[in-house]
């Protein structure tokens, strides 16, 4: 017997609805229709995938995430995806791109949670 991932949970000291809106744009998942601004918990859903759950907590982020998401663009390059995510509210944290085109970029969401953007499958196949 094994366990399955039910939720990927993001803590926020702000409004979970606002953080969920950011991630909804990032991953293209809808919010539950019953979720509203000011709710203490908000979810993004996608059938057959873990729910992304955003919950209000009293304590702020103090150290680097021990677990984070690695995103792989599906219809654009890594660099185009980084630009898109910065436009919707992400912040550059660490740039690990190399001159040969390999590497990744670490960004933070509006709450300061780190996540990485890798090269797309097409970019990987080309090198």
Full set of structural domains in the chain with CATH: 1-58 (3.10.180.10), 68-127 (3.10.180.10)
Mean pLDDT (the chain) is 94
Distance CA 72, CA 82 (A): 10
What are the pLDDT digits (tens) for 54-93?
Answer: 999 998 888 888 889 999 999 999 999 999 999 999 999 9
Tell me whether strands 114-117 and 69-71 are parallel, antiparallel or unpaired. parallel
Predicted confidence (pLDDT) at residue 33 exceeds the cutoff of 90: yes
Q: What local confidence, expressed as pLDDT, does residue 42 receive?
A: 97
Q: What local confidence, expressed as pLDDT, does residue 64 receive?
A: 81
pLDDT (mean) for 8-20:
95
């Amino acid at each position: 017997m094994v366990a399955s991932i039910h939720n990927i949970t993001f803590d926020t000291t702000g409004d979970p609805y606002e953080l969920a809106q950011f991630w909804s744009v990032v991953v293209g998942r809808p919010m539950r229709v019953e979720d509203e601004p000011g709710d203490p918990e908000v979810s993004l859903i996608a059938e057959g995938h873990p729910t992304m759950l955003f919950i209000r907590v009293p304590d702020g982020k103090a150290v680097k995430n021990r677990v984070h998401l690695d995103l792989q663009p599906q219809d654009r390059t890594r660099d185009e995806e980084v630009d898109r995510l910065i436009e919707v509210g992400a912040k550059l944290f660490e740039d690990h791109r190399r001159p040969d085109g390999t590497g990744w970029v670490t960004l933070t969401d509006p709450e300061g949670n780190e996540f990485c953007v890798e090269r797309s499958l097409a970019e990987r196949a080309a090198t």
